[in-house]
Structure 1
Amino acid sequence: MIIDSEVVTLSRAQFALTALYHFLFVPLTLGIVWILAIMESVYVMTGREVWKQMVRFWGVLFGINFAMGVATGITMEFQFGMNWAYYAHYVGDVFGTPLAIEGLMAFFLEATLVGVFFMGWDRLSRIQHLLVTWFLALGTNLSALWILIANAWMQHPVGAKFNVQTMRMEVTHFSEVLFNPVAQAKFVHTVSAGYVIGSMFVLSISAWYLLRGRNVDFARRSMTVAASFGLAASLSVVVLGDESGYAVSENQKMKMAAIEAMWETEPPPASFTVFGIPDVQNRTTHYAFHVPWVMGLIGTRSIDTPIPGINNLVEDTKGKIENGLQAYGAMLALRANPNDAQAKTTLAQYDDDMGYALLLKRYLADPRQATPADIQKAADSTIPNVPVLFWAFRIMVACGFYFIALFAYSFWLASKRQLDRNRWYLRLALYSLPLPWVSTELGWIVAEYGRQPWAIEGILPTALGVSSVTAGQVWISLGGFVLFYTALAIVDAVLMVKYARKGPDELGLWPMRHAPRAAGATDAKGALP
């Protein structure tokens, strides 16, 4: 049975739509919750009521965002059974473990503490409520950790082995899954990007208040926290992004070559292409402007290690497909006779490449019947969309350096107590609000779109992971998700804009009500209050 390419395309589009939309909310939750923890810590240390009201106001926007994140995240779980049933069967033992731990250990903790955070202001002491807020921040990051462990295993599968009898990937060393180096790099990079989004969110809305002369003291303090936290976070994103890039060059060489539009292997250390026009048909990059050594130093941390080009990697893949065909034949022989000693030996020798043979199933029912032309086609299919990755990466990096400059200037203004002196700066801060989301979504595209055609790198092609459904059925579910997510988008936009426009003053949080004066007290002019 040859795979229906329309079903694969629609299933991918549906998961991409829901994942991209869900990822609008997750990073803001990761970032703003730490800002709440910082603000509340200042409140507990100083006892100044303004900091408490800051926590409560930004907490309202956090709560709206958290609810939307939960609503959009739950629907994604159903897609593994609905659209990716074979994927769930093939790697469920490995992939499902961190997801289950995330639900039991992190999500329930996070969801419970959200309720205590909002309902506990008058029921808990200052210290107790502060601990709730800090544990809430910890819970959100634990959720991200376990999700990214699962995702990193898809990028760099370790600690698992294929079982011929069950036809599934099974965990062999959970510690290797847990401490996957790709997971570590992805986690710190992803959460730092979330901190940038949270900081920009607070900075931009506070700038809007200052432009209108509202809640001035409130907005200044909020911008000071956002500028400080945002500067540290934006610097971290760039530094940790270097580590993430190194992990890609080690484990996903085709993705790295596509990001650079590097068609041929260059002498080490490879140069970084600042600008160029990738030409997929002719496999070249026009008008390329190179910076010597930079890519080699980032990608290999050396001056003598080459970064393979796309054409070279395609040739290597052809050899892996041929090796994988031997493993595939041995696997079928063992299914028929589990005691076949020769098949066991062959499978042990070539089992690491069996996933490459499965690339042929997109074109042939039986990969063993593949011709050299079929093998070439399968090898060429491992080239992701080079222009998309090339430009997505560069726009993301440009945004990253812009954030450093903006937050550094904001921090300098805050230290000089001049945040509200330059209206052009306030407008710039306001108009910069969507940029962190743009860069984060582009980062998701680089990470996930860049590993195609693999659902699990080198093990399971994406085309094999789909459910046995028709294109019409996927169209129906895709249409339903579009309507559902559109409705959620409208609700979220209305609520966010409504409460941001109201501000702490219209919500009764600012200016703060002063305590009643003692009977007979007078003001500066001697009049009774």
Structure 2
Amino acid sequence: MIDFAVVDMSRLQFALTAMYHFLFVPLTLGLSFMLVIMESIYVMTDKAVWRDATRFWGKLFGINFVVGVATGITMEFQFGTNWAYFSHAVGDVFGAPLAIEGLMAFFLEATFVGLMFFGWDKLSKLGHLGVTFMVAIGTNFSALWILIANGWMQNPVGSRFNPETMRMEITSIADVLLNPVAQAKFVHTVSAGYVTGAVFVLAISAWYLLKGRHVAVARRSFTVAASFGLAAALSVVVLGDESGYALTDNQRMKLASLEAMWDTQPAPASLTLFGIPDVEARETHFEVSVPWVLGIIATHSFDKPVRGINDMVATAAERIRSGIFAYDAVERLKIDRNDMAARERFELHKADYGYALLLKRFIPDPRLATGEDIYKAAMSTVPNVPAMFWFFRIMAGLGFFFIGFFALAFWRASRHNFETGPFMKAAVLILPLPFIAIQTGWLLAEIGRQPWVVEGSLPTFLAASSLTIGQIWTTIIGFTLLYGTLAVIMVRLMLSTIAHGPERSAPQRGDLPELVPVGGRSAGGIIPLPAE
């Protein structure tokens, strides 16, 4: 018998640890390439202020990197402890990109991180820049392999279910690596990480400018963050369009749910800006839509409809009925592997085998399912529509906000306008916003996949380990205490590093005195910037 309380608690535990870990990953991604940009300018100009900026932001990167690694290791252990059947059933496929990530990306990243921190006075300028670049490449490669694994869960290509071993097996590693969902998720997630890093640097630089401290480093960092952030914010929106197109091909239910689109829309479909989804009535009240936009994003055409939730529930019911034949064939093959009739029947219906497993939520043997059982199982393929609807609008709304904010920051930086005022205060206050955006994006992706842990193949409720509620509560409490301690340590280290500010190195060839307007931009004279 399936204990759904254990399943729900296991999901809660993984969600808590994953969301905590995902606070550090995007910032690591964003800071890594910003370090490359700043150090490249230092190598080209030979100005010490750029070296100071690179070393300062590198310290904050290092603190974040260490905590991110520690929390990531915990997540990988959870696959074996809380999701044992998932690990058994799909470990041959899912474990491959994780192993490659550890061998290729993480060791590359970890090796060069040490050289980056301790090699400033031991490596040439170009040599150290190369090390910093390798850290950035390793960081992004780690994200690539993790998202290939996650993308396979969303769209399990390049694999097949073996009824003799009851496991998924790789049939094409190229298909796994080139999975369109994984590629779309990678570019979208990495771009969001770049936005997070840019907002982080922009906020701290603005805080220094408001306080009149470390102005030389703050101005330059502000300029880099504004430029990098604008490019990244534009990329998030453009690549988000590509993610929407990938959903149309592979996860139509997720797309319909985040739009709260109950009925199939004829081409070109409208995009809903606002509405109140009503799950009971299966309609969206007070809907405000923009014509054609969803059709263009989702299908890249003007003549293709976008399927609604009700239509796909009917399709799911058909696939469940087909999957029952595959389930019966598997049970017969367990008794006699040489039953050729059963093997032939399985081959005909194997694509729908996972849908038959949805019936196990309601009945022990799917072959005994009634029409009502099939209807309930088909309805279970609909994720939490209100959550999907609002998470998407929070994420998308913040994405467009960042474009506007970074455009204004870029305009000010290009005019050398670093005056303190409402904009600089706003730049400090928006620091939490990218973290809210990435967390809602993660929730959107994972809630939208339900009820599957592997889309169309393995339901989530069949993937959990045989644990007790007490055991899961024990680990949740333990992780909460551990992560709470890590959070306190990290925040204190971050605040201490920010309060101390960048260390000034000796002036080098090419350095000039920093000049600032006297009495503001309207004044006529300039004076050298006083020592900080």
The TM-score normalised by the length of structure 2 is 0.94
Q: Deviations over 1:393-419 (max 9, x none)?
A: 01111111111111111111111000x
CA deviation after TM superposition for structure 1 residue 376, in Å? 1.0
Alignment of 1:276-315 (within 5 A): 276-315=275-314
Alignment of 1:221-300 (within 5 A): 221-300=220-299
CA deviation after TM superposition for structure 1 residue 363, in Å? 2.1
Change in CA separation of 1:514 and 1:47 when aligned onto 2, cut-off 3 Å:
closer
Preserved CA contact (<8 Å) 2:209 2:420:
no
**Corresponding residue for 1:22?**
21
Amino acid at match of 1:354: Y
Measure, in 1, the Cα distance between the counterparts of 2:334 and 2:197: 53
**Corresponding residue for 1:484?**
482
Amino acid at match of 2:469: A
Q: Are positions 1:432 and 2:430 aligned together?
A: yes
CA deviation after TM superposition for structure 1 residue 514, in Å? 5.2
CA deviation after TM superposition for structure 1 residue 311, in Å? 1.1
**Corresponding residue for 2:403?**
404
**Corresponding residue for 1:503?**
501
Local SS of the residue matching 1:157: coil
Amino acid at match of 1:218: V
**Corresponding residue for 1:367?**
366
Preserved CA contact (<8 Å) 2:48 2:506:
no
- How many pairs align? 508
Measure, in 1, the Cα distance between the counterparts of 2:438 and 2:450: 19
**Corresponding residue for 2:66?**
67
Q: 1:450 aligns with which of 434, 448, 451?
A: 448
CA deviation after TM superposition for structure 1 residue 244, in Å? 0.6
Amino acid at match of 1:22: H
Amino acid at match of 2:498: A
Measure, in 2, the Cα distance between the counterparts of 1:495 and 1:270: 50
Q: Deviations over 1:252-309 (max 9, x none)?
A: 1111110000011111111110000011111111100011111111111112211111
Measure, in 2, the Cα distance between the counterparts of 1:464 and 1:88: 11
Alignment of 1:384-403 (within 5 A): 384-403=383-402
Range with bigger deviation, 12-21 or 329-338: 329-338
Q: Deviations over 1:390-447 (max 9, x none)?
A: 01101111111111111111111111000x2241110111111111111111110111
Local SS of the residue matching 1:412: helix
Q: Deviations over 1:220-245 (max 9, x none)?
A: 00000001111110000000000011
Measure, in 2, the Cα distance between the counterparts of 1:453 and 1:51: 50
Measure, in 2, the Cα distance between the counterparts of 1:343 and 1:393: 44
Local SS of the residue matching 2:446: helix
Measure, in 2, the Cα distance between the counterparts of 1:130 and 1:490: 32
**Corresponding residue for 1:524?**
none
**Corresponding residue for 2:491?**
493
Q: Are positions 1:214 and 2:213 aligned together?
A: yes
**Corresponding residue for 2:461?**
463
Percent sequence identity over aligned pairs: 60
Measure, in 1, the Cα distance between the counterparts of 2:264 and 2:98: 38
Measure, in 2, the Cα distance between the counterparts of 1:201 and 1:154: 31
Range with bigger deviation, 203-212 or 264-273: 264-273
Preserved CA contact (<8 Å) 2:155 2:181:
yes
Q: Are positions 1:333 and 2:349 aligned together?
A: no
Preserved CA contact (<8 Å) 2:47 2:507:
no
Measure, in 2, the Cα distance between the counterparts of 1:180 and 1:157: 8
**Corresponding residue for 1:202?**
201
Q: Are positions 1:103 and 2:102 aligned together?
A: yes
Alignment of 1:25-174 (within 5 A): 25-174=24-173
Measure, in 2, the Cα distance between the counterparts of 1:296 and 1:514: 57
Amino acid at match of 1:248: L
Preserved CA contact (<8 Å) 2:161 2:169:
yes
Q: Deviations over 1:300-348 (max 9, x none)?
A: 1112211111111111111110100000000111121112121111111
**Corresponding residue for 1:191?**
190
Measure, in 2, the Cα distance between the counterparts of 1:18 and 1:464: 21
Structure 1 residues not aligned, in runs of 5+: 516-529
Local SS of the residue matching 2:284: strand
Measure, in 1, the Cα distance between the counterparts of 2:470 and 2:444: 29
Local SS of the residue matching 1:24: coil
Range with bigger deviation, 281-290 or 332-341: 332-341
Amino acid at match of 1:493: V
Measure, in 1, the Cα distance between the counterparts of 2:275 and 2:420: 37
Measure, in 2, the Cα distance between the counterparts of 1:258 and 1:440: 19
Measure, in 2, the Cα distance between the counterparts of 1:497 and 1:447: 32
CA deviation after TM superposition for structure 1 residue 513, in Å? 4.3
Q: Deviations over 1:157-188 (max 9, x none)?
A: 00001111111000011010011111111111
Amino acid at match of 1:150: A
Measure, in 1, the Cα distance between the counterparts of 2:488 and 2:255: 37
Measure, in 1, the Cα distance between the counterparts of 2:144 and 2:36: 19
Measure, in 1, the Cα distance between the counterparts of 2:33 and 2:125: 17
Preserved CA contact (<8 Å) 2:210 2:420:
no
Amino acid at match of 1:410: A
**Corresponding residue for 2:516?**
none
Q: Deviations over 1:35-78 (max 9, x none)?
A: 00011011111111111111100001000000010011000011
Local SS of the residue matching 2:501: helix
Measure, in 1, the Cα distance between the counterparts of 2:38 and 2:507: 21
Local SS of the residue matching 1:123: coil
Measure, in 2, the Cα distance between the counterparts of 1:368 and 1:487: 51
Local SS of the residue matching 1:289: strand
Structure 2 residues not aligned, in runs of 5+: 509-532
Q: Deviations over 1:191-221 (max 9, x none)?
A: 0000001111000000000001111111000
Amino acid at match of 1:495: L
Measure, in 2, the Cα distance between the counterparts of 1:107 and 1:501: 31
Measure, in 1, the Cα distance between the counterparts of 2:215 and 2:316: 61
Q: Deviations over 1:54-107 (max 9, x none)?
A: 110000100000001001100001100110000000000000000000000000
Amino acid at match of 1:486: G
Amino acid at match of 1:50: V
Local SS of the residue matching 1:338: coil
Amino acid at match of 2:285: H
Measure, in 2, the Cα distance between the counterparts of 1:472 and 1:369: 34
Measure, in 2, the Cα distance between the counterparts of 1:360 and 1:475: 28
Amino acid at match of 2:450: Q
Deviant stretches of 4+, over 3 Å: 512-515
Amino acid at match of 1:381: S
